[in-house]
Amino acid sequence: MQISARNKLEGTVTSIKLGGVMAEVVVRVGENEIVSVVTRTSVEELGLAEGDSVTAIIKSTEVMLAR
């Protein structure tokens, strides 16, 4: 699958918190964590589980930087 997003970060799922409709998925990328909130259905359809390798794809018009 090809996508237009250029910010693709490989990581490992470290936790999944399922809610009634939404789910919080934490992905470790190197020494950092990215938290994604997606639908519970998406987690189930992707078959996501802790320890899975995933790609975090970031498509945004705003990216803030700090020093």
User: Which CATH number covers residue 38?
Assistant: 2.40.50.100
Q: Given this model, what pLDDT does residue 1 score?
A: 80
Has residue 65 got a pLDDT over 90? no
Q: Is residue 29 part of a domain?
A: yes
Q: Got the DSSP string for 6-40?
A: -EEEEEEEEEEEE-SSEEEEEEEETTEEEEEEEEH
How many structural domains compose the chain?
A: 1
The residues near 67 (Cβ < 8 Å, ≥ 6 apart) are none
Q: Is residue 36 part of a domain?
A: yes
Q: What is the mean pLDDT of the chain?
A: 95
Average pLDDT value for residue range 33-37: 96
Q: Is residue 59 part of a domain?
A: no
Q: pLDDT of 44-56, one tens digit each?
A: 999 999 999 999 9
Q: Is residue 62 part of a domain?
A: no
Average pLDDT value for residue range 57-66: 87
Q: Is residue 38 part of a domain?
A: yes
Question: Which residues span the domain enclosing 33?
Answer: 7-54
| Dihedral angle of Cα 11, 51, 14, 61, to the nearest 10 degrees | 30
Q: Is residue 47 part of a domain?
A: yes
pTM exceeding the 0.85 threshold for the entire prediction: yes
